[in-house]
């Protein structure tokens, strides 16, 4: 990939060529189609039009150069369904490129498609609204293909692994097994792993292909392998909208996992249209690789930031997306994240759209002068409604995510009591690199698509023979693993902050010990709906925890002062801690929470008052009066009690 002259990187270049118009790309409407491309150093640009995504061009048109490096062509016709690409001459070299601002494309994204977006709206789209906002947000991470690939999902074969699986109903109007499960779980948000057009799967290839999708090609187009016809640019748009509409109708808001830190290949549409501008480089001219994916988008440059901001707003407006999860947010900047927060708030209302991300990067990356990376140590600089995943909570509860047999608090780890009590307040006091302004910035979780599933991690720590067999369903380990799984969930759901968990965690999802399944076969990655039936008791426990959590304002309080509710944090002995929550109940009652990760029962003398057990290691939605003066907590379990009459 050729580099531009060094002068192209400085602020003078941005001052000359920054374009703030929101009309780059192809605007297709009644009687007219306008094409605009930002290519500031081009000497010539041509537009080729095609009838489909494989045949030759039927017309080639020149674009005229306008202000600030924007090239334009207009056709006095609605070209909906017409495919196109550009030829860009820069420094004597001609490069063919699709449109980096395209909103539709053909198979594998090589040709863009002009699309009249109003023609892609499903019936009732103009009335589509997300369910009413709840005071608590509980996020469920889900992969489109994982969700319905299993034949036991209840989805017809032609729609398994597709957007359509979410909107399909049988002749009687009944939901398939997978959607019935999701709609009845009680979560408020579904976070979908990358669903924009990515390059690691051949959209015309076998359904046995699989990838998580962190390989962006067309940032503003839905992924074609999830559509029924990847060659029809409108189909993927319509079916993606139908999925979001169906999730909204079933009481779920939708969060989009977005990857603005790198592209699938450095020779991308961005690079071909503006060579050298969109990527960071090291001092020796080589591409920086803070993403460990071969390149880093140059967040901090005016048009790179504009591209990302406009893309986020496009998905929020056109697709009714309710939130955004930013991959490797540490490669983006504090200034960019705060700008996105401000723009979403201005367009939709303060806090209406969720925003959170990974506060880390794979490696160092050269930042633009004056910009600051959005790492975990920058929480004090970020807007309080920009959240981050908290690996401290994750590792304290279940053990180091990268060391398969390193245990955490629930599965044999030593000396973690203080960390667990810090996690209770969303690390509000600060620890390590985390210095949150409020627990609203902390996402508590114990498993995500990365690393081992919770079930597999727990089994590996019990796998005394070290042969890896623990990731399978070994009857002799079930009782211990189930107890640890429940306690891990109980702790996570009783910490202040936001809540997140991986799809299938609620029924002991296993990937048979595979810790990096990003391109493993779909049958390893898919949600097993037969397993969901077998582990219905564990799912019920999660469902109860969700219901309980929503009823306890002392836990879902996201204000900067929320941590002040937490009192009497006590380490009683190894692997046993407790704390109280002032005004934590639905009517302002005091709560008492105990975690007993030891292998011995624990009895805690109760403070004066009438106490009711609301949750224990078996039932997280109960009202059982405590008649004695002590609260008995069995081994490897928790308890949440409420003092009546407060």
Q: Is 172 exposed, middle or buried (0-12, 13-18, 19+ CB in 10 A)?
A: exposed
**Rounded Cα gap, residues 177 and 154, in angstroms:** 5
| Residue among 85, 358, 456, 589 flagged as catalytic | 358
How far apart are alpha carbons 213 and 199 in whole angstroms? 8
Residues 6 or more apart whose CB falls under 8 angstroms from that of 214 comprise 194, 198, 259, 293, 327, 518
Tell me the CB-side half-sphere exposure of residue 221, using CA atoms within 13 A: 37
In this structure, are strands 590-596 and 602-605 parallel, antiparallel, or unpaired?
Answer: unpaired
Q: Is 180 left (phi over 0), alpha (psi -120 to 50) or beta?
A: alpha
Contact 356, 387 (CB under 8 A): yes
**Pairwise CA distance, residues 594 & 618, whole Å:** 14
Cα 262 off chain centre by: 16
> Phi and psi at residue 420, in whole multiples of 5°?
-60, -40
Measured distance CA(225)–CA(207) in Å, rounded: 8
Smallest CA-to-CA distance from 35 within 2, 5, 79 is with: 79
Q: How far apart are CA 501 and CA 439, in angstroms?
A: 17
For the question of residue 358 being annotated catalytic, the response is yes
First to last CA, the chain: 68
- CA angle, 196 then 201 then 202, to 5°: 110
Q: Among positive and negative, which fits the CA dihedral 432, 435, 438, 442? A: negative
Whether 646 is catalytic is: no
| Distances from the Cα of 535 to the Cα of 56, 127, 317, 456, angstroms | 55, 38, 39, 15
User: Which of these is catalytic: 141, 327, 417, 616?
Assistant: 327
Report the alpha-carbon distance of residue 579 to residue 232 in Å, rounded.
57
Question: Which strands make up the sheet holding 64-65, listed edge to edge?
Answer: 25-29, 32-38, 70-75, 64-65
466 Cα distance to chain centroid: 33
Nearest to 1 by CA among 219, 287, 260, 284: 287
Query: Distances from the Cα of 181 to the Cαs of 185, 490, 503, 561, in angstroms?
Result: 6, 21, 11, 36
Question: Which amino acids are annotated catalytic?
Answer: 327, 358
């Amino acid at each position: 990939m050729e580099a531009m002259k060094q002068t192209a990187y400085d602020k003078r270049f941005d001052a000359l060529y920054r374009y703030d118009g929101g009309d780059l790309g192809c605007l297709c409407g009644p009687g007219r189609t306008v094409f605009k491309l930002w290519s500031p150093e081009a000497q010539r640009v041509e537009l080729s039009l095609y009838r489909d995504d494989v045949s030759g061009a039927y017309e080639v048109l020149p674009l005229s150069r306008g202000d600030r490096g924007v090239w334009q062509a207009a056709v006095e016709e609605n070209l909906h369904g017409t495919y196109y690409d550009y030829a860009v001459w820069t420094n004597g070299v001609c490069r063919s490129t699709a449109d980096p601002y395209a909103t539709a494309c053909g198979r594998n994204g090589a040709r863009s498609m002009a699309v009249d977006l109003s023609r892609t709206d499903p019936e009732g789209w103009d009335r589509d609204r997300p369910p009413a906002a709840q005071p608590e947000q509980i996020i469920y991470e889900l992969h489109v293909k994982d969700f319905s690939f299993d034949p036991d999902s209840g989805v017809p074969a032609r729609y398994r692994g597709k957007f359509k699986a979410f909107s399909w109903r049988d002749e009687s109007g009944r939901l398939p097994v997978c959607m019935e499960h999701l709609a009845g779980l009680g979560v408020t948000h579904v976070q979908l792993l990358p669903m924009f057009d990515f390059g690691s799967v051949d959209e015309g290839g076998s359904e046995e292909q699989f990838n998580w999708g962190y390989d962006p090609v067309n940032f503003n187009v839905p992924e074609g392998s999830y559509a029924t016809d990847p060659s029809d640019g409108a189909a993927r748009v319509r079916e993606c909208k139908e999925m979001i509409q169906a999730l909204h109708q079933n009481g779920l808001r939708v969060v989009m996992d977005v990857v603005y830190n790198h592209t699938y290949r450095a020779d991308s549409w961005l690079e071909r249209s503006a060579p050298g501008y969109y990527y960071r480089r090291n001092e020796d001219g080589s591409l920086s690789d803070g993403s460990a994916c071969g390149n880093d988008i140059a967040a901090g440059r005016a048009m790179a930031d504009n591209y990302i901001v406009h893309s986020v707003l496009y998905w929020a407006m056109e697709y009714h997306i309710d939130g955004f999860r930013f991959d490797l947010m540490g490669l983006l900047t504090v200034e960019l994240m705060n700008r996105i927060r401000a723009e979403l708030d201005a367009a939709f209302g303060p806090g209406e759209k969720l925003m959170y991300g990974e506060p880390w990067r794979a490696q160092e990356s050269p930042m633009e002068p004056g910009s600051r990376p959005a790492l975990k140590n920058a929480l004090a600089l970020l807007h309080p409604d920009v959240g981050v995943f908290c690996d401290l909570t994750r590792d304290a509860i279940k053990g180091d995510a990268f060391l398969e047999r390193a245990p955490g608090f629930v599965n044999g780890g030593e000396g973690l009591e203080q960390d667990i009590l810090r996690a209770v307040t969303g690390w509000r006091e600060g620890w390590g690199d985390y210095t949150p302004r409020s627990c609203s910035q902390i996402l508590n979780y114990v498993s995500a698509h990365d690393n081992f599933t919770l079930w597999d991690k727990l089994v590996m720590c019990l796998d005394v023979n070290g042969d890896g067999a623990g990731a399978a369903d070994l009857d002799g380990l079930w009782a211990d693993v189930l107890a640890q799984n429940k306690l891990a969930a109980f702790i996570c759901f009783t910490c202040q902050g936001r809540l997140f968990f991986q799809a299938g965690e609620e029924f002991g999802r296993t990937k048979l010990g595979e810790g990096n399944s990003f391109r493993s076969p779909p049958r390893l990655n898919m949600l097993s709906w037969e397993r969901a039936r077998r582990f219905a008791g564990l799912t019920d426990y999660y469902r109860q925890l969700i219901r309980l959590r929503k009823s306890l304002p002392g836990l879902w309080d996201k204000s900067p002062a929320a941590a002040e509710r937490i009192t009497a944090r006590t380490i009683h002995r190894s692997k046993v801690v407790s704390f109280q929550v002032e005004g934590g109940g639905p009517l302002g009652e005091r709560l008492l929470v105990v975690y007993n990760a030891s292998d011995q029962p624990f009895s805690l003398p109760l403070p004066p008052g009438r106490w009711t057990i609301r949750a224990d290691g078996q039932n997280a939605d109960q009202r059982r009066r405590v008649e004695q003066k002590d609260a008995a907590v069995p081994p490897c379990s928790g308890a949440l009690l409420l003092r009546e009459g407060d």
